[in-house]
Chain A
Amino acid sequence: MQFLSQLINGLQLGSIYALVALGYSMVYGIIMLLNFAHGDIIMVGGYLAMLAIGAGVAPAFAVMISIFGCTILAVIIEKGAYKPLRSAPRLSLLITAIGVSLLLQNLALLIFSANAKPFPGTSILPSGSVSIGGLSIGTTAIITIVVSVVSMAALTLVVQKTKIGKAMRAVSEDTEAAQLMGIPVDLIISVTFAIGSALAGIGSILFCCRYPLLTPTMGSMLGLKAFIAAVLGGIGSIPGAVVGGFAIGLAEVFVNSVGLSTWTDAVVFGILIIVLLARPSGFFGRPMVEKV
């Protein structure tokens, strides 16, 4: 029974990692950029929801504001910071991403101060628990897992079945060829950022409901863990990000539950090292062939 409870804890944590990892993976898949500002988008989403609820907006609208806010912010970042560097070396793009991450963190520090702020999580997701055959499951856990699975299913549908999805896959396969075929590459890249960040916005709300304390640096560790999840699953691969997210979430919870909490991060990074040694491109990644 206790094992089942821990399994659900792991799935809840894992589904948040998976949502965030998807954003990393999609962006990497399309422009080969490790978007390190992705974690900080989550932080911004949390503060936006807090401000909205503080201003008396209905919780459902506050969630919308937060998700739209994340989406718009990501598109602005893409247009303002990344697009001018599209043809620059990839390293410049990476450094810019780190710069954007620091900028967002310090802006939040300036506006909200370093003091932790309570997140009004209970007005979005009611806390409580349901009992199924003696197993008590928190409502946030159920909602988190369900919302994540639905979002991921929707994303898969969009990518596999729609025209936009087809265009995204084409740009990711070969940007120049896609352009020659008349696909508006710039638009598709923006759409990819927008979808990835909307998922991050959802992840942000779920994360903050579970850990209702906002700090300007809250996104960095979450972002890093999600990045590991994306690499573990094979960066660029959508099912990879999901599997990676769940793997990291479950690993963390089981390490904590056997009393090795001090080793949690070490185990997570250890798993990454082992997987990369055995399968350098992750679970679902396609092996990269260097073109000479």
Chain B
Amino acid sequence: MKKFRILAVMLVSALLVSSLASCGGTSASGAVKVGILAPLTGDVAQYGIAVSNGAKLYLDEFNAKGGLQIEYVEYDEEGDPAKAVTGYNHLVDQGITALIGDVTTTPTLAVVEVAKADNMPMITASATAASVTYDAESDAVNGNVFRSCFIDPFQGTKMASFVQEKLSAKTAAVLFCSEDDYSIGLKDSFVEQAGRIGLEVVSTEAFAKGATDFQAQLTNIAAKAPDVLFISYYYGDVALAAAQAKEAGVSATLIGADGWAGIMEVLTDPGVIEGAYYCSGYSSDDTTPAVQEFIKSYQAKYGEVPNMFAAQGYDAAKVIVNAVQKAVDAKLQPGSAEFKQAVIDNLKATSLDCVTGHITYDEYNNPEKDAVIINVKGGVETFWGKY
């Protein structure tokens, strides 16, 4: 009798396990589940909302075509690394088989640490730090992590060459946040490239995260009178720093990277960044048909012109859905280890025409594409060209 009872328990638990296993990755309707992790509220919500809107636009378009259905689950991590990890675990519990996210660098790095162990295919639309896909300590590529944006070194290097070649700058200064990976990454690559091409960096000034006062640093910079001032941070702080730069008597041309996107919305006086240049992965003034078509459908859905983050979110979704589709075509079980590995292999082999250009991946899982240079002229952001 006792033996029978044990057998019964074993049978029941085996049944339970098998039923649980079969629900991983697919829902009742047979759709594949993909997670979207982004800050939808908080200080960096502007990026998160744009990325998520872009990604959802592509997913909805894809589902509308019929065939494979992708079900997406969204989680708001508020720009906080700890909440991002909680969010990731929550999404895994929901049975996702691939992840679009995270959005800003620091929370993304936190998620990468956990996702690596799960070999979860993930693509970030906007985390630009080199360390997201490459672990310098162990000299290993984070095989499961991809992105649809440029990396920090790429932008810093580009901008240093750009100001020397196109703006004939001789001297430069850098203002950066010493507690942020994105900001430090940009500063390092800018200074390194400047040294290589003979652009003299006369001053590098740091500020703490959350600081609102940059007057002391800007006064030091003004005393050195550089040709250009590279502010390697996000739009909110850049807006504050730019307003104070004018007060402190800094006459340098301001330059920046993609963290500047959205700056016009937080500036009361656009005059403080008049003549500034920053690089970006995308411009809505780009006349390529693919870009214009994307803008039209985005506007129809959300009633606003998409920014770079929306475009990269759209591309991130496109790249990962393409990889998932191939894995499904290969008749693999969504959610299984083989499925995830197949998605990763397919991502690595990506060669797709996207909104922000033709995407292929290099050995470090970084996309290879051209940068767009944006110039602020007459108080509006204008498309300067590709560089």
Q: Which of B5-13, B241-249, B306-314 participates in binding chain A? A: B241-249
Decide if B338 is an interface residue (CB 8 Å cutoff): no
Cβ contacts A73-112/B at 8 Å (1 or 0 each): 0000000000000000000000000000000000000000
What residues on B are CB-neighbors of A10 within 8 Å?
216
Cβ contacts B168-180/A at 8 Å (1 or 0 each): 0000000000110
Decide if B239 is an interface residue (CB 8 Å cutoff): yes
The answer to whether A215 and B43 have CB atoms under 8 Å apart is yes
Cβ contacts B230-253/A at 8 Å (1 or 0 each): 000000100110011011110000
A209 and chain B: residue at smallest CB distance: B243
Please judge, given known A-B contacts A2-B220, A118-B265, A215-B43, whether A253 and B215 are in contact too, CB under 8 Å: yes
Decide if A136 is an interface residue (CB 8 Å cutoff): yes
Q: How far is the CB of B254 from chain A (nearest CB, A)?
A: 15
What's the Cα separation between A265 and B43 when bound, in Å? 21
The answer to whether A13 and B208 have CB atoms under 8 Å apart is no
Q: How far is the CB of B242 from chain A (nearest CB, A)?
A: 10
What's the Cα separation between A262 and B183 when bound, in Å? 14
What's the Cα separation between A136 and B266 when bound, in Å? 26
Decide if A25 is an interface residue (CB 8 Å cutoff): no
Total count of chain B residues near the partner, CB < 8 A: 37
Q: Which of A29-37, A120-128, A181-189, A196-204 participates in binding chain B? A: A120-128
Cβ contacts A242-258/B at 8 Å (1 or 0 each): 00000000001110110
Q: How far is the CB of A111 from chain B (nearest CB, A)?
A: 14
**Chain B interface residues toward A at CB < 8 A:** 41-43, 45-46, 178-179, 205-208, 210-213, 215-217, 219-220, 222-223, 236, 239-240, 243-244, 246-249, 265-269, 272
- 18 A-B pairs with CB atoms under 8 Å apart are A1-B223, A5-B222, A6-B216, A9-B215, A114-B43, A116-B236, A117-B266, A123-B268, A136-B222, A212-B268, A213-B212, A213-B239, A254-B216, A256-B216, A261-B205, A261-B207, A261-B208, A262-B208
Question: Given A117-B266, A118-B239, A141-B247, 17 other A-B contacts at CB below 8 A?
Answer: A9-B216, A9-B219, A10-B216, A114-B42, A116-B266, A136-B222, A136-B248, A211-B240, A212-B243, A213-B212, A253-B216, A257-B217, A261-B206, A261-B207, A261-B208, A261-B217, A262-B206
